[in-house]
């Protein structure tokens, strides 16, 4: 970065120092989290036997392959099962994520410095503040010391968002070549993200719809031109009055025909030259405007315009297919391997169906749906399937996953009321206060720390999330990036991942890779706090306030109603 501002360089250097200290602190700590043990076992299997599985001769698809492959590559290069080397690579990925967020926020909000209280002591801009928030976010720092997918997936999500920004910029500037290569890169990164966490593999259909909408042509406005509609309307009225006064247009009654009004609109917007309004010439000029795409076709004489619109729609669909094809090319080899192995169509892993059933069956815990995997005995999800299907033991893992998916969907359709209640709880679980790091300290994942350290870490982790989330809500509702289409893409991505986990089961760990997006909007709210406060009487301000109130209420409800007894036990155990 040749033109990197000094605050960004300082942030990255301090972030590197903090990560080195955490790596030193974590050195020698055993792997304690079950997911981390799985990833480590798969990586060791790849290095020692060259196969993706837990036991020799039994290939598996329980986990997506990219993260174990990355860990295996690090083990192979470092000459053994070197957890410190993995932590170093993840530290680099964390710094790169902060750098990508800086670029993303720079394209969204520019380098303009704000006037909020955060900026009173130092000239912070939105990009610098967002990069700092991502670089020093406590949960990302601590999770970077574990053998887990969080850091890699976070980096890929941030990179995908940056590439989408490049796509939209390319269309806005009519740089088709740049937009095409950005679309290919986006599809590749999205495929790598799906090979890291399978939640993304169903995103391409939604992506296509978004791209077809975002790349549409706008009458008289180039894609990406976001001039306010009020200003455009004022200019149109001024041009109309000037044309009438100069005699180029004759004022008409309100009862004039729709065609005449459209003709005058075309004249006012300069799509047609102002001339006398001879009826035959006006009709020919109106048809020409329709055919050129400046006016929407309305009647039978608009066949050329209709063909033009169909061609434009086909062009947009073709461009939307580019990242989908790149995505498919990335995941295809692994999908073919899984399909052959499990004798049924399997894309990324064989966890989707069983997760769907564990989150939606008779014995799913209401308030801790992610803990359904610990349900054992006659109530376990696999025991129910075994009782219902005599040939259960002869099924492959992929076929078993399909059965579990059907069982989960059947339960959802048969119990809509219970499902709605559970989904509300799951949605709140997705946005719950962060607990993984605090619980890890209580269980000794980061060594035997004093009690005051554990309490301090819990307060810092929960407080940093709460601050980022509340500011992020105000930033999303009350600020807009330079290109509003990127604003809606970020919302689509967050909503898709949240909805997927709400339908299955949710946990705050699944939300962590989305926090850089939240922190960009939080930085925008902090930088522009004074402007937001000046709009405190607007509907947008009250909407943001209401959403924040609901969020705080959900956190209080969970702490007091759901987790109070468990928190007390953890505090006692940590003494």
Q: Within this chain, do residues 242 and 131 fall inside the same structural domain, yes or no?
A: no
d(CA 262, CA 247): 18
Q: What is the largest CA-CA distance in the chain?
A: 92
299, containing H or E segment: none
**Cβ count within 10 A of residue 248:** 14
CA atoms within 13 A on the CB side of 575: 5
Considering 76-80, 158-162, 565-569, the range whose residues carry the highest mean pLDDT is: 158-162
Q: How many helices (H) and strands (E) does the chain have?
A: 25, 2
Contact yes or no for 101/130 (Cβ under 8 A): yes
Residue 118, pLDDT above cutoff 60:
no
* Same domain, yes or no: 126 and 247: no
| pLDDT average, residue stretch 396-424 | 95
* Residue 532, in any domain of the structure: yes
How far does Cα 160 stand from its chain's mean position? 9
Whether 254 and 183 map to the same domain: the answer is no
pLDDT > 80? residue 48: yes
Give the chain's domain count. 2
- How many other β-carbons are positioned within 10 Å of the β-carbon of residue 303? 11
What are the residues facing 55 on neighbouring strands?
Answer: 58
What per-residue confidence (pLDDT) applies to 273? 47
DSSP string, 238-278: HHHHHHHHTTSS----TT--HHHHHHHHHHHTTSS------
Residue 470 lies in a domain: yes
Same domain flag for 87 and 126: yes
Question: Worst-scoring range by mean pLDDT, 64-73, 91-100, 207-216, 283-292?
Answer: 283-292
In the three-class reduction of DSSP (H, G, I as helix; E, B as strand; rest coil), residue 55 is classed as: strand
Average pLDDT over residues 455-475: 94
Are 509 and 455 contained in the same domain? yes
Cα(185)–Cα(119) distance, integer angstroms = 36
* Residues 542 and 520 placed together within one structural domain of the fold: yes
Nearest C-alpha neighbor of 495 from the set 519, 478, 474, 511 = 511
Q: In the listed set 295, 316, 351, which residue is the last one of a domain according to the structure?
A: 295
pLDDT > 70 fraction of the chain, expressed in percent and rounded: 79
pTM of the model: 0.83
Does 376 fall in a domain?
no
Does any domain span residue 405? Answer: no
Residues 541 and 461 both lie in one domain: yes
222 pLDDT tier (thresholds 50, 70, 90): very low
- Contacts (Cβ under 8 Å, ≥6 apart) of 389: 395, 403
Please identify, among 263, 295, 327, the residue that sits at the C-terminal boundary of a domain: 295
Q: How buried is 260 (Cβ within 10 angstroms: 0-12 exposed, 13-18 middle, 19+ buried)? A: middle
Same domain flag for 73 and 178: yes
Mark whether 243 and 208 lie in a shared domain: no
In a domain, 403, yes or no: no
Residue 126 has pLDDT above 80, yes or no: yes
The predicted pLDDT at position 290 comes to: 52
Per DSSP, what are the bridge partners of residue 227? none
Q: Is residue 24 part of a domain?
A: yes
Candidate ranges 179-183, 388-392, 564-568; pick with highest mean pLDDT = 179-183
pLDDT band at 176 (very low <50, low <70, confident <90, very high): confident
Average pLDDT rounded to a whole number, residues 191-217 = 93
With a cut of 90, say whether residue 393 has pLDDT above it: no
Average pLDDT of every residue of the chain: 84
Are 212 and 116 part of one and the same domain? yes
Q: Give yes or no for residue 245 having a pLDDT over 60.
A: no
- Per the structure, the complete domain to which residue 475 belongs is given by 6-219+429-574
pLDDT-derived band at 134 (thresholds 50, 70, 90) equals very high
Which residues does residue 53 pair with via DSSP β-bridges, in sequence order? 59
Q: Which pLDDT tens digit goes with each residue over 54-98?
A: 989 899 999 999 999 999 999 999 988 999 999 999 999 999 999
Q: Are 240 and 264 in contact (CB under 8 A)?
A: yes
Per the rule left: phi > 0, alpha: psi between -120 and 50, beta: everything else, 444 is: left
HSE-CB at 274 with a 13 A cutoff on CA atoms is 16
Residue 424 Cα distances to 5, 372, 406, 489, 504, angstroms? 44, 17, 22, 24, 12
| Domain termination residue (choose one: 295, 310, 336) | 295
DSSP string, 343-390: TS--SS-S-HHHHHHHTSSTT--SS-GGGGGG--GGGSHHHHHHHH-T
The set of long-range contacts for 215-223, using a CB threshold of 8 Å and a minimum separation of 24, is 215/171, 215/316, 215/319, 215/320, 216/312, 216/316, 217/293, 217/312, 219/269, 219/293, 219/294, 219/295, 219/296, 220/269, 220/270, 220/271, 220/294, 222/172, 222/174, 223/168, 223/171, 223/172, 223/174
Q: Is residue 76 part of a domain?
A: yes
Q: Which of 525, 511, 423 is nearest to 472 (CA)?
A: 525
The mean pLDDT value for 483-487 works out to: 93
**Contacts of 27-34 spanning 24+ positions with Cβ under 8 A:** 27/84, 29/145, 29/445, 29/446, 29/447, 31/83, 31/146, 31/147, 32/440, 32/443, 32/444, 32/445, 33/146, 33/147, 33/148, 33/440, 33/445
261 in the same domain as 188: no
C-alpha distances (whole Å) from 164 to each of 85, 206, 240, 489 are: 31, 14, 39, 8
Q: Is residue 389 part of a domain?
A: no
Do 128 and 276 lie in one domain? The reply is no
- Rounded to the nearest 5°, which phi and psi values hold at 61? -140, 25
What pLDDT sits at residue 113?
59
Structure tokens at 543: 């909407």
């Amino acid at each position: 970065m040749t033109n990197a501002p000094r605050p960004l360089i300082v942030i990255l250097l301090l972030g590197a120092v903090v990560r080195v200290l955490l790596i030193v602190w974590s050195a020698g700590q055993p792997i304690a989290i079950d997911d981390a043990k799985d990833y480590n076992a798969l990586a060791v299997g790849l290095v020692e036997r060259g196969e993706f599985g837990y036991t020799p001769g039994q290939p598996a698809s329980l986990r997506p392959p990219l993260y174990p492959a990355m860990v295996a590559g690090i083990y192979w290069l470092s000459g053994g099962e070197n957890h410190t080397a993995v932590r170093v690579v993840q530290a680099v990925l964390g710094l790169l994520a902060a750098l990508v967020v800086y670029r993303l926020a720079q394209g969204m909000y520019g380098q303009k410095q704000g006037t909020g209280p955060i900026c009173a002591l130092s000239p912070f801009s939105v990009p610098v503040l967002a990069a700092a928030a991502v670089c020093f976010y406590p949960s990302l720092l601590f999770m970077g010391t574990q053998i887990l997918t969080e850091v890699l997936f976070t980096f890929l999500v941030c990179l995908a968002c940056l590439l989408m920004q490049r796509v939209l910029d390319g269309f806005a500037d009519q740089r088709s070549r740049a937009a095409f290569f950005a679309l290919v890169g986006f599809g590749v990164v999205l495929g790598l993200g799906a090979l890291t966490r399978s939640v993304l593999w169903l995103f391409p259909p939604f992506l296509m719809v978004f791209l077809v909408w975002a790349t549409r042509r706008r009458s008289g406005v180039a894609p990406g031109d976001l001039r306010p509609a009020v200003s455009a309307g004022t200019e149109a009225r001024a041009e109309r009055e000037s044309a009438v006064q100069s005699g180029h247009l004759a004022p008409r009654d309100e009862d004039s025909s729709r065609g005449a009004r459209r003709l005058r609109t075309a004249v006012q917007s300069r799509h047609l030259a102002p001339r006398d309004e001879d009826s035959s010439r006006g009709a020919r000029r109106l048809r020409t405007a329709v055919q050129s795409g400046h006016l929407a076709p309305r009647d039978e004489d608009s066949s050329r315009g209709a063909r033009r619109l169909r061609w434009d729609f086909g062009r947009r669909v073709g461009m939307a297919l580019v990242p989908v094809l790149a995505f498919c090319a990335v995941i295809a080899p692994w999908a073919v391997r899984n399909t052959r192995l499990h004798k049924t169509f399997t894309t990324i892993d064989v966890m989707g169906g069983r997760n769907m059933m564990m989150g939606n069956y008779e014995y799913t815990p209401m308030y801790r749906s992610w803990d359904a995997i610990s349900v054992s005995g006659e109530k376990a999800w696999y025991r129910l399937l075994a009782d219902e299907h005599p040939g259960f033991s002869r099924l492959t893992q992929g076929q078993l996953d399909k059965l579990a998916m059907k069982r989960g969907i059947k339960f959802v359709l048969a119990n809509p009321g219970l499902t709605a209640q559970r989904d509300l709880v799951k949605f709140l679980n997705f946005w719950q206060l962060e607990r993984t790091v605090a619980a890890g300290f209580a269980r000794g994942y980061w060594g035997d720390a004093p009690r005051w350290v554990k309490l301090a870490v819990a307060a810092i982790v929960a407080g940093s999330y709460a601050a980022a989330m509340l500011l992020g809500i105000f930033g999303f509702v009350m600020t807009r990036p330079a290109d509003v289409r990127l604003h809606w893409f970020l919302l689509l991505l967050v909503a898709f991942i949240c909805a997927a986990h709400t339908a299955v089961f949710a946990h705050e760990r699944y939300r962590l890779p989305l926090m850089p997006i939240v922190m960009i909007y939080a930085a925008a709210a902090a930088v522009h706090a004074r402007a937001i406060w000046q709009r405190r009487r607007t509907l947008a301000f009250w909407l943001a306030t209401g959403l924040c109130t609901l969020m705080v209420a959900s956190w209080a409800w969970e702490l007091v109603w759901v987790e109070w007894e468990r928190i007390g036990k953890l505090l006692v155990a940590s003494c």
